[in-house]
Chain A
Protein backbone atom coordinates (compact mmCIF):
# COMPACT_ATOMS: atom_id res chain seq x y z
CA UNK A 1 0.00 0.00 0.00
CA UNK A 2 1.27 3.46 -0.83
CA UNK A 3 1.38 5.65 2.24
CA UNK A 4 0.72 8.85 0.31
CA UNK A 5 -2.54 7.53 -1.04
CA UNK A 6 -4.04 7.18 2.38
CA UNK A 7 -6.15 10.25 2.86
CA UNK A 8 -7.05 11.99 6.06
CA UNK A 9 -10.46 10.29 6.12
CA UNK A 10 -9.00 6.84 5.84
CA UNK A 11 -6.58 7.45 8.67
CA UNK A 12 -9.58 8.51 10.68
CA UNK A 13 -11.20 5.18 9.90
CA UNK A 14 -8.35 3.35 11.58
CA UNK A 15 -7.80 5.71 14.48
CA UNK A 16 -6.43 4.34 17.77
CA UNK A 17 -9.49 3.63 19.88
CA UNK A 18 -7.92 5.36 22.84
CA UNK A 19 -8.75 8.69 21.21
CA UNK A 20 -12.38 7.62 21.25
CA UNK A 21 -12.08 6.70 24.91
CA UNK A 22 -10.57 10.09 25.67
CA UNK A 23 -13.31 11.99 23.86
CA UNK A 24 -16.10 10.01 25.55
CA UNK A 25 -14.42 10.54 28.90
CA UNK A 26 -14.13 14.28 28.35
CA UNK A 27 -17.64 14.71 27.01
CA UNK A 28 -19.03 13.01 30.10
CA UNK A 29 -16.61 14.58 32.57
CA UNK A 30 -16.75 18.25 31.53
CA UNK A 31 -20.44 18.79 32.41
CA UNK A 32 -19.79 17.13 35.78
CA UNK A 33 -16.71 19.17 36.61
CA UNK A 34 -18.21 22.47 35.50
CA UNK A 35 -21.74 21.72 36.57
CA UNK A 36 -23.17 22.24 33.07
CA UNK A 37 -26.87 21.56 32.95
CA UNK A 38 -29.38 20.69 30.33
CA UNK A 39 -32.94 21.95 30.27
CA UNK A 40 -35.16 19.06 31.11
CA UNK A 41 -38.68 18.62 29.86
CA UNK A 42 -40.95 16.96 32.44
CA UNK A 43 -42.91 13.99 31.10
CA UNK A 44 -46.46 13.19 32.26
CA UNK A 45 -45.36 9.91 33.88
CA UNK A 46 -42.95 11.68 36.24
CA UNK A 47 -45.33 14.59 36.85
CA UNK A 48 -47.95 12.12 37.91
CA UNK A 49 -45.51 10.51 40.37
CA UNK A 50 -44.69 13.93 41.78
CA UNK A 51 -48.36 14.92 42.10
CA UNK A 52 -49.19 11.72 43.96
CA UNK A 53 -46.68 12.55 46.69
CA UNK A 54 -47.38 16.27 46.56
CA UNK A 55 -51.07 15.75 47.36
CA UNK A 56 -50.35 13.88 50.61
CA UNK A 57 -51.24 15.70 53.84
CA UNK A 58 -48.41 16.49 56.28
CA UNK A 59 -47.43 13.49 58.42
CA UNK A 60 -48.43 10.87 55.87
CA UNK A 61 -46.15 7.89 55.55
CA UNK A 62 -44.20 7.10 52.39
CA UNK A 63 -42.47 3.72 52.11
CA UNK A 64 -39.48 3.59 49.76
CA UNK A 65 -38.25 0.20 48.67
CA UNK A 66 -34.57 -0.12 47.74
CA UNK A 67 -34.55 -2.92 45.17
CA UNK A 68 -31.16 -2.33 43.57
CA UNK A 69 -27.47 -2.59 44.32
CA UNK A 70 -24.27 -0.79 43.39
CA UNK A 71 -24.55 -1.64 39.69
CA UNK A 72 -27.70 0.46 39.18
CA UNK A 73 -26.80 3.11 41.71
CA UNK A 74 -25.98 5.87 39.16
CA UNK A 75 -29.52 5.76 37.81
CA UNK A 76 -31.58 5.06 40.92
CA UNK A 77 -29.74 6.87 43.70
CA UNK A 78 -30.52 10.35 42.25
CA UNK A 79 -34.21 9.33 42.21
CA UNK A 80 -34.02 8.25 45.83
CA UNK A 81 -32.48 11.56 46.84
CA UNK A 82 -34.95 13.68 44.87
CA UNK A 83 -37.92 11.81 46.33
CA UNK A 84 -36.52 12.02 49.85
CA UNK A 85 -36.08 15.79 49.44
CA UNK A 86 -39.68 16.04 48.32
CA UNK A 87 -40.92 14.01 51.29
CA UNK A 88 -38.86 15.82 53.93
CA UNK A 89 -39.71 19.18 52.44
CA UNK A 90 -43.42 18.35 52.82
CA UNK A 91 -42.89 16.92 56.32
CA UNK A 92 -43.88 13.42 55.30
CA UNK A 93 -42.57 10.44 57.23
CA UNK A 94 -40.33 8.00 55.41
CA UNK A 95 -39.84 4.27 55.89
CA UNK A 96 -37.06 2.62 53.92
CA UNK A 97 -37.25 -1.09 53.15
CA UNK A 98 -34.85 -3.32 51.21
CA UNK A 99 -35.43 -6.34 49.04
CA UNK A 100 -31.86 -6.58 47.75
CA UNK A 101 -29.54 -7.34 50.68
CA UNK A 102 -26.61 -5.68 48.93
CA UNK A 103 -28.56 -2.46 48.47
CA UNK A 104 -28.80 -2.03 52.25
CA UNK A 105 -25.77 0.22 52.76
CA UNK A 106 -26.53 2.22 49.60
CA UNK A 107 -30.10 3.08 50.56
CA UNK A 108 -29.14 3.87 54.12
CA UNK A 109 -26.37 6.20 53.01
CA UNK A 110 -28.76 8.18 50.76
CA UNK A 111 -31.37 8.38 53.51
CA UNK A 112 -28.97 9.62 56.20
CA UNK A 113 -27.43 12.15 53.82
CA UNK A 114 -30.73 13.81 52.86
CA UNK A 115 -32.17 13.56 56.38
CA UNK A 116 -29.15 15.47 57.66
CA UNK A 117 -29.77 18.24 55.10
CA UNK A 118 -33.29 18.72 56.47
CA UNK A 119 -32.38 18.18 60.14
CA UNK A 120 -34.73 15.19 60.47
CA UNK A 121 -34.59 12.84 63.45
CA UNK A 122 -34.28 9.06 63.17
CA UNK A 123 -37.26 7.20 64.57
CA UNK A 124 -39.40 10.33 64.54
CA UNK A 125 -39.33 11.49 60.91
CA UNK A 126 -37.77 8.54 59.18
CA UNK A 127 -36.58 4.99 59.75
CA UNK A 128 -35.05 2.04 57.91
CA UNK A 129 -36.57 -1.43 58.23
CA UNK A 130 -33.59 -3.21 56.68
CA UNK A 131 -33.78 -6.49 54.83
CA UNK A 132 -35.62 -9.76 55.39
CA UNK A 133 -35.39 -12.67 52.95
CA UNK A 134 -38.59 -13.97 51.39
CA UNK A 135 -39.50 -11.39 48.72
CA UNK A 136 -43.20 -11.90 47.98
CA UNK A 137 -43.89 -13.51 51.35
CA UNK A 138 -42.52 -10.40 53.11
CA UNK A 139 -44.66 -8.12 50.94
CA UNK A 140 -47.81 -10.10 51.65
CA UNK A 141 -47.25 -10.42 55.38
CA UNK A 142 -46.82 -6.66 55.69
CA UNK A 143 -50.41 -6.48 54.51
CA UNK A 144 -51.57 -7.64 57.92
CA UNK A 145 -48.75 -6.54 60.23
CA UNK A 146 -45.27 -5.20 59.52
CA UNK A 147 -44.10 -6.56 62.89
CA UNK A 148 -44.82 -10.11 61.76
CA UNK A 149 -41.75 -9.84 59.49
CA UNK A 150 -39.69 -6.99 60.88
CA UNK A 151 -39.23 -7.45 64.62
CA UNK A 152 -36.81 -4.56 64.68
CA UNK A 153 -35.32 -1.93 62.40
CA UNK A 154 -32.02 -2.10 60.54
CA UNK A 155 -30.04 -1.88 63.80
CA UNK A 156 -32.32 -4.29 65.61
CA UNK A 157 -34.17 -1.64 67.64
CA UNK A 158 -37.73 -2.89 68.35
CA UNK A 159 -40.24 -1.07 66.16
CA UNK A 160 -42.44 -0.08 69.08
CA UNK A 161 -39.64 1.93 70.65
CA UNK A 162 -39.55 4.20 67.56
CA UNK A 163 -42.13 7.00 68.09
CA UNK A 164 -43.19 7.22 64.43
CA UNK A 165 -43.96 3.51 64.19
CA UNK A 166 -46.53 3.52 67.04
CA UNK A 167 -49.54 3.61 64.75
CA UNK A 168 -48.09 2.01 61.67
CA UNK A 169 -49.08 -1.62 61.26
CA UNK A 170 -49.80 -2.44 57.62
CA UNK A 171 -50.45 -0.94 54.20
CA UNK A 172 -53.55 0.83 55.55
CA UNK A 173 -51.19 3.13 57.40
CA UNK A 174 -48.93 3.81 54.44
CA UNK A 175 -49.99 6.42 51.90
CA UNK A 176 -47.68 5.54 49.03
CA UNK A 177 -45.09 2.89 48.31
CA UNK A 178 -42.24 3.98 46.03
CA UNK A 179 -40.35 1.05 44.51
CA UNK A 180 -36.90 1.81 43.09
CA UNK A 181 -36.26 -1.15 40.87
CA UNK A 182 -33.36 -2.78 39.05
CA UNK A 183 -34.99 -6.19 38.76
CA UNK A 184 -38.25 -8.07 39.12
CA UNK A 185 -39.36 -6.76 42.53
CA UNK A 186 -41.31 -3.96 40.83
CA UNK A 187 -43.51 -6.54 39.13
CA UNK A 188 -44.17 -8.13 42.52
CA UNK A 189 -45.14 -4.81 44.07
CA UNK A 190 -47.70 -4.37 41.31
CA UNK A 191 -48.96 -7.93 41.11
CA UNK A 192 -49.17 -8.55 44.83
CA UNK A 193 -49.30 -5.38 46.87
CA UNK A 194 -51.22 -3.17 44.47
CA UNK A 195 -53.54 -5.91 43.29
CA UNK A 196 -54.35 -7.35 46.70
CA UNK A 197 -54.20 -4.36 49.00
CA UNK A 198 -55.02 -1.53 46.58
CA UNK A 199 -51.83 0.15 47.74
CA UNK A 200 -50.90 3.29 45.82
CA UNK A 201 -47.64 2.66 44.04
CA UNK A 202 -44.94 4.65 42.24
CA UNK A 203 -42.10 2.93 40.43
CA UNK A 204 -38.65 4.30 39.64
CA UNK A 205 -36.75 2.00 37.29
CA UNK A 206 -33.52 1.83 35.28
CA UNK A 207 -33.63 3.10 31.69
CA UNK A 208 -33.39 -0.43 30.32
CA UNK A 209 -36.51 -1.49 32.22
CA UNK A 210 -38.69 1.53 31.56
CA UNK A 211 -40.37 0.27 28.39
CA UNK A 212 -41.31 -2.99 30.09
CA UNK A 213 -42.97 -1.28 33.07
CA UNK A 214 -44.87 1.31 31.05
CA UNK A 215 -47.98 -0.86 30.58
CA UNK A 216 -48.56 -0.74 34.37
CA UNK A 217 -48.89 3.01 34.16
CA UNK A 218 -51.31 2.79 31.25
CA UNK A 219 -53.40 0.27 33.16
CA UNK A 220 -53.48 2.53 36.21
CA UNK A 221 -51.73 -0.04 38.38
CA UNK A 222 -49.06 2.49 39.28
CA UNK A 223 -49.54 6.18 39.96
CA UNK A 224 -46.31 7.31 38.36
CA UNK A 225 -43.19 6.09 36.61
CA UNK A 226 -39.69 7.52 36.82
CA UNK A 227 -37.39 6.03 34.20
CA UNK A 228 -33.61 6.15 34.27
CA UNK A 229 -31.40 9.16 34.84
CA UNK A 230 -33.68 11.23 32.64
CA UNK A 231 -36.61 10.54 34.96
CA UNK A 232 -34.48 11.44 37.97
CA UNK A 233 -33.59 14.75 36.31
CA UNK A 234 -37.26 15.48 35.72
CA UNK A 235 -38.10 14.80 39.36
CA UNK A 236 -35.26 17.05 40.45
CA UNK A 237 -36.72 19.81 38.33
CA UNK A 238 -40.12 19.35 39.99
CA UNK A 239 -38.69 19.56 43.52
CA UNK A 240 -36.63 22.58 42.45
CA UNK A 241 -33.38 20.99 43.40
CA UNK A 242 -31.45 20.35 40.20
CA UNK A 243 -28.71 17.94 41.18
CA UNK A 244 -27.00 14.94 39.72
CA UNK A 245 -29.74 14.06 37.25
CA UNK A 246 -29.49 17.44 35.51
CA UNK A 247 -25.76 17.32 35.16
CA UNK A 248 -26.06 13.75 34.07
CA UNK A 249 -28.47 14.61 31.28
CA UNK A 250 -25.99 17.06 29.79
CA UNK A 251 -23.29 14.39 29.81
CA UNK A 252 -25.75 11.89 28.44
CA UNK A 253 -26.84 14.02 25.49
CA UNK A 254 -23.30 14.99 24.54
CA UNK A 255 -22.12 11.40 24.75
CA UNK A 256 -24.90 10.23 22.42
CA UNK A 257 -24.05 12.96 19.96
CA UNK A 258 -20.35 12.06 20.15
CA UNK A 259 -21.04 8.38 19.45
CA UNK A 260 -23.22 9.25 16.46
CA UNK A 261 -20.50 11.55 15.12
CA UNK A 262 -18.01 8.70 15.47
CA UNK A 263 -20.31 6.45 13.47
CA UNK A 264 -20.64 9.08 10.74
CA UNK A 265 -16.88 9.70 10.58
CA UNK A 266 -16.21 5.98 10.51
CA UNK A 267 -18.57 5.56 7.56
CA UNK A 268 -17.06 8.47 5.63
CA UNK A 269 -13.65 6.88 6.08
CA UNK A 270 -15.02 3.54 4.99
CA UNK A 271 -16.57 4.92 1.79
CA UNK A 272 -13.48 6.96 0.91
CA UNK A 273 -11.38 3.85 1.21
CA UNK A 274 -13.78 1.82 -0.89
CA UNK A 275 -13.87 4.49 -3.58
CA UNK A 276 -10.09 4.57 -3.75
CA UNK A 277 -9.89 0.78 -3.99
CA UNK A 278 -12.41 0.79 -6.81
CA UNK A 279 -10.50 3.56 -8.54
CA UNK A 280 -7.29 1.57 -8.57
Chain B
Protein backbone atom coordinates (compact mmCIF):
# COMPACT_ATOMS: atom_id res chain seq x y z
CA UNK B 1 0.00 0.00 0.00
CA UNK B 2 1.11 3.50 -0.87
CA UNK B 3 0.84 4.79 2.68
CA UNK B 4 3.03 2.15 4.28
CA UNK B 5 5.23 0.49 1.70
CA UNK B 6 6.66 3.63 0.08
CA UNK B 7 7.99 5.12 3.34
CA UNK B 8 9.56 1.75 4.25
CA UNK B 9 11.18 1.58 0.84
CA UNK B 10 12.48 5.16 1.16
CA UNK B 11 14.06 4.42 4.54
CA UNK B 12 15.60 1.19 3.25
CA UNK B 13 17.08 2.71 0.08
CA UNK B 14 18.38 5.85 1.80
CA UNK B 15 19.90 3.90 4.68
CA UNK B 16 21.59 1.29 2.50
CA UNK B 17 23.05 3.90 0.14
CA UNK B 18 24.48 5.89 3.02
CA UNK B 19 26.02 2.80 4.64
CA UNK B 20 27.61 1.56 1.41
CA UNK B 21 29.01 4.91 0.34
CA UNK B 22 30.71 5.22 3.72
CA UNK B 23 33.34 2.80 2.39
CA UNK B 24 33.74 4.45 -1.04
CA UNK B 25 35.92 7.55 -1.19
CA UNK B 26 35.58 7.88 -4.99
CA UNK B 27 33.49 10.85 -6.16
CA UNK B 28 30.58 11.41 -6.14
CA UNK B 29 30.10 8.90 -3.30
CA UNK B 30 32.83 10.13 -0.96
CA UNK B 31 30.96 13.28 -0.02
CA UNK B 32 27.55 11.67 0.27
CA UNK B 33 27.55 11.40 4.07
CA UNK B 34 28.30 15.12 4.38
CA UNK B 35 25.75 15.98 1.71
CA UNK B 36 23.15 13.89 3.52
CA UNK B 37 23.63 16.04 6.61
CA UNK B 38 23.07 19.16 4.52
CA UNK B 39 19.94 17.59 3.05
CA UNK B 40 18.73 16.82 6.52
CA UNK B 41 19.25 20.46 7.54
CA UNK B 42 17.30 21.69 4.53
CA UNK B 43 14.33 19.45 5.34
CA UNK B 44 14.67 20.62 8.93
CA UNK B 45 14.45 24.21 7.68
CA UNK B 46 11.09 23.53 6.02
CA UNK B 47 9.77 21.64 9.03
CA UNK B 48 10.68 24.57 11.26
CA UNK B 49 7.70 26.33 9.63
CA UNK B 50 5.40 23.56 10.84
CA UNK B 51 6.85 23.83 14.34
CA UNK B 52 6.50 27.58 14.60
CA UNK B 53 3.00 27.29 13.15
CA UNK B 54 2.07 24.80 15.88
CA UNK B 55 3.44 27.07 18.59
CA UNK B 56 1.74 30.19 17.23
CA UNK B 57 -1.58 28.37 17.03
CA UNK B 58 -1.18 26.99 20.55
CA UNK B 59 -1.09 30.54 21.87
CA UNK B 60 -3.73 31.77 19.46
CA UNK B 61 -6.10 29.15 20.93
CA UNK B 62 -5.36 30.33 24.43
CA UNK B 63 -6.09 33.91 23.44
CA UNK B 64 -9.27 33.17 21.56
CA UNK B 65 -10.72 30.98 24.29
CA UNK B 66 -9.54 33.36 26.99
CA UNK B 67 -7.97 30.39 28.78
CA UNK B 68 -6.45 30.92 32.21
CA UNK B 69 -3.42 33.16 31.87
CA UNK B 70 -4.36 34.05 28.28
CA UNK B 71 -2.77 37.44 28.42
CA UNK B 72 0.67 35.87 28.77
CA UNK B 73 0.15 34.69 25.22
CA UNK B 74 0.29 38.36 24.23
CA UNK B 75 3.78 38.47 25.76
CA UNK B 76 4.62 35.42 23.67
CA UNK B 77 3.52 37.20 20.50
CA UNK B 78 5.40 40.32 21.55
CA UNK B 79 8.64 38.40 21.98
CA UNK B 80 8.15 36.45 18.79
CA UNK B 81 7.41 39.51 16.69
CA UNK B 82 10.29 41.45 18.24
CA UNK B 83 12.92 38.92 17.15
CA UNK B 84 11.20 38.15 13.86
CA UNK B 85 10.80 41.77 12.77
CA UNK B 86 14.24 42.96 13.93
CA UNK B 87 15.66 39.84 12.24
CA UNK B 88 14.02 40.59 8.91
CA UNK B 89 14.95 44.29 9.09
CA UNK B 90 18.58 43.49 9.97
CA UNK B 91 18.77 40.85 7.26
CA UNK B 92 17.66 43.45 4.70
CA UNK B 93 19.78 46.30 6.06
CA UNK B 94 23.06 44.45 6.65
CA UNK B 95 22.48 41.42 4.42
CA UNK B 96 23.21 39.45 7.57
CA UNK B 97 21.05 39.60 10.67
CA UNK B 98 24.03 38.37 12.71
CA UNK B 99 26.07 41.50 12.01
CA UNK B 100 27.36 42.84 15.30
CA UNK B 101 25.75 46.26 14.78
CA UNK B 102 22.28 44.98 13.95
CA UNK B 103 19.23 45.57 16.13
CA UNK B 104 18.69 41.81 16.00
CA UNK B 105 21.98 41.24 17.80
CA UNK B 106 21.26 44.09 20.23
CA UNK B 107 18.14 42.32 21.45
CA UNK B 108 19.98 39.01 21.39
CA UNK B 109 22.39 40.52 23.90
CA UNK B 110 19.89 42.25 26.13
CA UNK B 111 17.11 39.67 26.11
CA UNK B 112 18.31 36.24 25.07
CA UNK B 113 21.71 36.16 26.80
CA UNK B 114 20.46 37.02 30.31
CA UNK B 115 17.53 34.62 29.99
CA UNK B 116 19.76 31.85 28.71
CA UNK B 117 22.50 32.30 31.29
CA UNK B 118 20.08 32.60 34.21
CA UNK B 119 18.16 29.51 33.22
CA UNK B 120 21.49 27.70 32.97
CA UNK B 121 22.57 29.09 36.35
CA UNK B 122 19.47 27.65 38.05
CA UNK B 123 21.36 24.37 37.81
CA UNK B 124 23.53 25.42 40.74
CA UNK B 125 20.42 25.38 42.95
CA UNK B 126 18.99 22.21 41.52
CA UNK B 127 22.25 20.32 41.78
CA UNK B 128 22.24 21.21 45.50
CA UNK B 129 18.64 20.17 46.13
CA UNK B 130 19.08 16.96 44.14
CA UNK B 131 22.21 15.98 46.07
CA UNK B 132 20.48 16.69 49.36
CA UNK B 133 17.42 14.61 48.54
CA UNK B 134 18.88 11.77 46.49
CA UNK B 135 22.30 11.12 47.99
CA UNK B 136 21.21 8.90 50.87
CA UNK B 137 22.98 5.68 51.73
CA UNK B 138 19.87 3.54 51.18
CA UNK B 139 21.75 0.54 49.83
CA UNK B 140 25.18 -0.40 48.61
CA UNK B 141 24.65 1.04 45.10
CA UNK B 142 23.54 4.39 46.45
CA UNK B 143 26.45 4.44 48.90
CA UNK B 144 28.98 3.99 46.11
CA UNK B 145 27.33 6.83 44.18
CA UNK B 146 27.31 9.09 47.21
CA UNK B 147 30.84 8.48 48.40
CA UNK B 148 32.39 8.97 44.95
CA UNK B 149 30.42 12.17 44.40
CA UNK B 150 31.53 13.64 47.73
CA UNK B 151 35.20 12.77 47.19
CA UNK B 152 35.24 14.29 43.71
CA UNK B 153 33.35 17.38 44.85
CA UNK B 154 35.86 18.04 47.64
CA UNK B 155 38.88 17.14 45.56
CA UNK B 156 38.16 19.91 43.06
CA UNK B 157 38.32 22.94 45.37
CA UNK B 158 41.09 24.37 47.60
CA UNK B 159 39.21 23.21 50.72
CA UNK B 160 39.73 19.58 49.71
CA UNK B 161 43.48 20.10 49.59
CA UNK B 162 43.39 21.65 53.06
CA UNK B 163 41.47 18.67 54.46
CA UNK B 164 43.80 16.06 53.07
CA UNK B 165 46.56 17.03 50.66
CA UNK B 166 46.29 13.75 48.74
CA UNK B 167 42.59 14.29 47.98
CA UNK B 168 43.17 15.97 44.58
CA UNK B 169 45.32 12.96 43.57
CA UNK B 170 42.63 10.51 44.61
CA UNK B 171 40.09 12.55 42.67
CA UNK B 172 42.13 12.48 39.50
CA UNK B 173 42.65 8.70 39.91
CA UNK B 174 38.89 8.25 40.15
CA UNK B 175 38.33 10.42 37.10
CA UNK B 176 41.12 8.97 34.96
CA UNK B 177 40.99 5.29 35.93
CA UNK B 178 38.08 4.13 38.06
CA UNK B 179 35.25 5.74 36.12
CA UNK B 180 36.85 5.22 32.71
CA UNK B 181 35.89 1.53 32.44
CA UNK B 182 32.17 1.85 33.18
CA UNK B 183 31.82 4.99 31.07
CA UNK B 184 33.46 3.20 28.17
CA UNK B 185 31.24 0.17 28.76
CA UNK B 186 28.13 2.36 28.71
CA UNK B 187 29.31 4.01 25.52
CA UNK B 188 30.07 0.73 23.75
CA UNK B 189 26.66 -0.56 24.87
CA UNK B 190 24.91 2.51 23.50
CA UNK B 191 26.83 2.24 20.23
CA UNK B 192 25.89 -1.44 19.87
CA UNK B 193 22.26 -0.68 20.67
CA UNK B 194 22.36 2.11 18.09
CA UNK B 195 23.71 -0.23 15.42
CA UNK B 196 21.02 -2.82 16.19
CA UNK B 197 18.32 -0.16 16.12
CA UNK B 198 19.56 1.32 12.83
CA UNK B 199 19.58 -2.16 11.30
CA UNK B 200 15.99 -2.73 12.47
CA UNK B 201 14.96 0.63 10.99
CA UNK B 202 16.64 0.01 7.65
CA UNK B 203 15.15 -3.49 7.44
CA UNK B 204 11.71 -2.12 8.29
CA UNK B 205 11.32 -4.20 11.45
CA UNK B 206 11.08 -1.13 13.63
CA UNK B 207 8.40 1.21 12.30
CA UNK B 208 7.04 3.17 15.21
CA UNK B 209 5.46 5.99 13.27
CA UNK B 210 4.18 3.96 10.31
CA UNK B 211 1.99 1.04 11.26
For A233, give the chain B residue with the smallest CB separation: B158
Alpha-carbon distance A258/B176, docked complex (angstroms): 26
**Contacts A104-B100, A154-B100, A267-B137; is A259 near B128 (CB within 8 Å)?**
yes
Interface-side segment among B44-52, B67-75, B112-120: B112-120
- Please tell me if A263 contacts chain B, counting CB pairs below 8 Å: yes
The reply to whether B157 and A70 contact each other, CB–CB distance below 8 Å, is: no
Question: 1/0 per position for B97-123, CB-CB distance to A under 8 A?
Answer: 010110001001100010011001000
- Please tell me if B82 contacts chain A, counting CB pairs below 8 Å: no
Question: 1/0 per position for B11-31, CB-CB distance to A under 8 A?
Answer: 000000000000000000000
Interface-side segment among A34-42, A114-122, A137-145, A187-195: A34-42
The reply to whether B161 and A263 contact each other, CB–CB distance below 8 Å, is: no
Residues of the A chain whose Cβ atoms lie less than 8 Å from the Cβ of B154: 256, 260
For A270, give the chain B residue with the smallest CB separation: B136
Question: 1/0 per position for B165-196, CB-CB distance to A under 8 A?
Answer: 00000001001100000000000000000000
The reply to whether B146 and A263 contact each other, CB–CB distance below 8 Å, is: yes
Interface of chain B: mostly helix, strand, loop or mixed = helix
The reply to whether B117 and A73 contact each other, CB–CB distance below 8 Å, is: yes
- Please tell me if A1 contacts chain B, counting CB pairs below 8 Å: no
The reply to whether A211 and B175 contact each other, CB–CB distance below 8 Å, is: yes
Chain B's interface size range is: 35 or more
Residues of the B chain whose Cβ atoms lie less than 8 Å from the Cβ of A266: 132-133, 135-136
Most A CB within 10 A of own CB, among B131, B132, B175: B132
Residues of the B chain whose Cβ atoms lie less than 8 Å from the Cβ of A170: none
Alpha-carbon distance A252/B153, docked complex (angstroms): 11
B93 → chain A closest CB, angstroms: 14
User: Which of B127, B132, B150, B157 sits near A252, CB closer than 8 Å?
Assistant: B157
The reply to whether A71 and B117 contact each other, CB–CB distance below 8 Å, is: yes
Alpha-carbon distance A86/B157, docked complex (angstroms): 25
- Please tell me if A253 contacts chain B, counting CB pairs below 8 Å: yes
For A21, give the chain B residue with the smallest CB separation: B125
For B153, give the chain A residue with the smallest CB separation: A256
Chain A's interface size range is: 35 or more
**Contacts A24-B124, A256-B153; is A70 near B131 (CB within 8 Å)?**
no
The reply to whether A260 and B128 contact each other, CB–CB distance below 8 Å, is: no
Residues of the A chain whose Cβ atoms lie less than 8 Å from the Cβ of B113: 70
- Please tell me if A44 contacts chain B, counting CB pairs below 8 Å: no
The reply to whether A20 and B159 contact each other, CB–CB distance below 8 Å, is: no
User: Which of A25, A211, A253 sits near B157, CB closer than 8 Å?
Assistant: A253
- Please tell me if A205 contacts chain B, counting CB pairs below 8 Å: no
- Please tell me if A197 contacts chain B, counting CB pairs below 8 Å: no
Question: 1/0 per position for A236-268, CB-CB distance to B under 8 A?
Answer: 000000000000010011011111101101110
**Contacts A105-B109, A259-B131, A270-B136; is A249 near B158 (CB within 8 Å)?**
yes
The reply to whether B129 and A20 contact each other, CB–CB distance below 8 Å, is: yes
- Please tell me if A55 contacts chain B, counting CB pairs below 8 Å: no
Residues of the B chain whose Cβ atoms lie less than 8 Å from the Cβ of A255: 124, 128
**Contacts A256-B154, A257-B159, A270-B136; is A20 near B125 (CB within 8 Å)?**
yes
The reply to whether A263 and B125 contact each other, CB–CB distance below 8 Å, is: no
The reply to whether B105 and A17 contact each other, CB–CB distance below 8 Å, is: no
- Please tell me if A28 contacts chain B, counting CB pairs below 8 Å: yes
With A28-B124, A249-B158, A265-B132 known, 4 other A-B pairs at CB within 8 A are A253-B158, A262-B132, A267-B135, A267-B136
5 A-B pairs closest in CB distance: A262-B132, A17-B129, A70-B113, A270-B136, A253-B157
29 contacts between A and B (CB under 8 A): A17-B132, A20-B125, A20-B128, A20-B132, A21-B125, A24-B128, A25-B125, A70-B117, A71-B120, A73-B117, A101-B98, A105-B100, A105-B109, A108-B100, A155-B100, A207-B156, A249-B157, A253-B158, A253-B159, A258-B128, A263-B131, A263-B132, A263-B146, A263-B150, A265-B132, A266-B136, A267-B146, A270-B138, A271-B137
